Amino acid sequence: MKYYLIAGEASGDLHASNLMAALKKTDTEAQFRYLGGDLMQAQGGHLVKHYREMAFMGFIPVLMNLKTILQNMKACAEDIRQYQPDVVILIDYPGFNLKIAKFVKNKLHIPVYYYISPKIWAWKKYRIKDIRRYVDKMLCILPFEVDFYRSQQYKVEYVGNPSVDSVVYREKAEETFDEFCNINHLADKPIIALLAGSRRQEIKNNLPTMLEAVKPFSGYQAIIAGAPGIEPEYYEQYTKAYPVKIVFNQTYRLLQQSTAALVTSGTATLETSLFRVPQVVCYKIAGKQFTYFIFKHFFHISYISLVNLIADKEVVKELFSIHFSLENIQKELHRLLNDKTYRNTMLAHYDEIIRILGKPGASERAAQIIYKNLIV
């Protein structure tokens, strides 16, 4: 079978690459063409365009780069037309992918599968109309998405969560604290992990305050998880005044050895919980009074972190918008490090989240569903 995949950012690249690996096991004749990143490229096939050339997030960046975005869509549509795949597989990235889905269904009549649902349950519920029309099958990775889509009269399948797979099957799972510190030339102190996001704007907004927040905790060392595609020089403008180190391509290894973590919202909050690392979610937003008003009145969710959304209650503190401050982060970090009861309660909630997510095998289940439906 010929598969065409579209992933528009780093997390999509990861999940798509794991799906490609599973498809190769399921379909020995699998051929791939895709918009994605380095991890997908490592699985073989042909990389048409790297997600770094496509990742415009937020109203202003999208508006400023609208011409480029439209050109990318047109080029992608034409590439699919020429390639004539057996199926198009979309990974999140809804602003781009739903328009491609419309073209593929209306003009090419090729099956469209969606793996990693757009977050329409948070906002933009109106996109369910396009999903109903243009997506043959939605494969969900979050348990609460199933109930959401059922409430919208759209049948989906929960295949498990790929972050569970990534954590369970990670490399260096047996690495000790001493081994990790020796390899990375770190001090012999407990670690506070700083996961400041995967995009430049997120790092710019969050990392400076994170660095200030950990300064009083001299008995610990702060280690930054370097994001894929972000060069070390970008971090240095923020870190040069602090005794902090950065590790690249080692986020899981870092979390495995960490005592606590400051995490910018996203998949990283869920991954941190899977490693059972107590965390505080830190997310600075421009125009915080206005954005908090928008969140409270126009979003359909009560939390911003996957941890709390899956648990359907506050498991980890979310310091975003009007709650994001140096004082609040330091106060919460102090509790994480020194209040044993508080830590243990959070860890118990993590265990329940792990149970809800289910066993590993998300990529394999998704691959089998796609392939079996194609050969019917």
What does the pLDDT average to over 164-184? 95
Query: Rounded to 5 degrees, what are φ and ψ at 202?
Result: -65, -45
pLDDT of amino acid 297? 44
pLDDT tens by residue, 46-62 = 999 998 877 655 544 55
Please name which of 125, 126, 123, 96 lies closest in space to residue 114, comparing C-alpha atoms: 96
Domain that holds residue 65: 2-167+360-375
Are 136 and 225 in the same domain? no
Sheet containing 87-91: which strands, arranged edge to edge? 46-50, 31-36, 2-7, 87-91, 112-115, 137-140, 157-158
CATH number of the domain encompassing residue 256: 3.40.50.2000
Domains contained in the chain, number: 2
What does the pLDDT average to over 154-167? 93
The answer, yes or no, to whether residue 294 has pLDDT greater than 90, is no
Helix (H, G, I), strand (E, B) or coil at 118: coil
Q: What's the whole-model pTM score?
A: 0.85
Are 112 and 147 in the same domain? yes
Are 336 and 367 in the same domain? no
Pairing verdict, β 191-195 and 258-263? parallel
What does the pLDDT average to over 232-239? 96
Distance (Å, rounded) from C-alpha 147 to C-alpha 150?
A: 5
pLDDT tens by residue, 71-82 = 889 999 999 999
Are 149 and 204 in the same domain? no
Are 259 and 316 in the same domain? yes
Q: Which of the four pLDDT bands, split at 50, 70 and 90, describes residue 293?
A: low
pLDDT of amino acid 68? 72
What does the pLDDT average to over 234-248? 95
